[in-house]
Amino acid sequence: MFARQKLFFSLALALYTASASAGPLVYAVSTNYNTFTGEFGTVDLGTGAFNQIGPSISDPLDGLVPGPNGNLLGLSVSGNLDSVNPATGAVSVIGATGLGSLAGFLGELNGTVYATDLSNNLYTVNTTTGAATLIGPTGIPPCPSLTNPDDVSDETLFTAGGNLYATFDGINLVTSGVVDSPELYQINPATGVATLVGPTSLGLDAAVFLNGTVYGFDFSFTGSNTVLSLNLANGNTTFLTDYASSPVAGGVNAYDIEGVTPTPEPASFALVGIGIGLVFVSVRRKRRDRVVEL
């Protein structure tokens, strides 16, 4: 009996240890630039491992926020508001935002969904129809691709501590030179006006606030994609781990996470529950065996 009990306790401890070493899971959408398709799945914040859910998405999504009825919402490259079923990864179009293709990014605060456009104006988005309504200009620089097709931007729109934040930068694809320095901003959701917080890391394309920490997902064309912690007081970042990438010839990454939102029930809790359950089973069996022996 002692050997059996020891086995169950060892297994429970192993499961608990595994859950403690793994990080929390978040839902994520990414773009694969090898195939120009999107992917939906979960990312382990402790290891950076990505687990795809469902088929590839033909119209990739920027931004990922909670939506009605347990579904998630994303802003497609073509400018539609899309709904994502988190269990299957199935994507359905809700409606056109009116922001046009390559519109911008999606964020959510206190149940209201916000979006930016290429000029970095701020909008609210109707989650039933997809239609966007202008709030006002943020003052964040416009996407440099509006004046030079060789320029691209990195941007996030996220909430933390009841506030709305954004990061933005611009680079030239030909020279790899910085066009707009990477900065962190806090946005007034009533007026759209952004207040500069400070410089931050180049290449941030998604961010999420979880358990008191802002996790940023940083894209690199030639190096490793990374998960960073972001300091909201000054924009400073700290390296946490690499996240999965798909390099193409020449070492250029093809895989970019562009929207993240928390999962409602971290998988680590389930592992802990299994471990505790096994402990209770072993104790009950021991008590039953003792009764039989008497």
What local confidence, expressed as pLDDT, does residue 150 receive?
A: 86
> Domain map of the chain by residue range?
1-24+267-294, 25-265
Q: Which listed CATH number (2.120.10.80, 3.90.1310.10, 1.10.238.10, 2.30.31.10) goes with 25-265?
A: 2.120.10.80
Burial of residue 137 (CB within 10 Å: 0-12, 13-18, 19+) is middle
Note the pTM of the prediction, 2 decimals.
0.81
DSSP codes of every residue in 236-256: -EEEEEE----EETTTEE-EE
Written as one string, the DSSP assignment of the chain is -HHHHHHHHHHHHHHHHHHHHSPPEEEEEEEETTTTEEEEEEEETTT--EEE-SS-BSS-EEEEEE-GGG-EEEEETTSEEEEE-TTT--EEEEEE-SS-TT---EEEETTEEEEE-TT-EEEEE-TTT--EEEEEE--SPPPGGGT-TTEEEEEEEEEETTEEEEEEEEEETTT--EEEEEEEEEE-TTT--EEEEEE--TTEEEEEEETTEEEEEE--SSS--EEEEE-TTT--EEEEEE----EETTTEE-EEEEEEEE-SS-HHHHHHHHHHHHHHHHHHHHHHHHHHH-
Nearest by Cα to 38 from 54, 61, 71 = 61
pLDDT score at 145:
87
pLDDT score at 245: 58
Please give the pLDDT value at position 265: 55
DSSP string, 164-183: EEEEEEEEETTT--EEEEEE
Spell out the per-residue pLDDT of the chain, length 294, in tens: 444 444 344 434 333 434 444 679 999 999 887 788 899 999 999 999 999 999 999 999 999 999 999 999 999 999 999 999 999 999 999 999 999 877 788 999 999 999 999 999 999 999 999 999 999 999 999 998 888 888 888 999 999 999 999 999 998 888 888 999 999 999 999 999 999 999 999 999 999 999 999 999 998 866 778 999 999 999 999 999 998 755 444 445 568 899 999 997 544 444 344 344 444 444 444 444 444 445
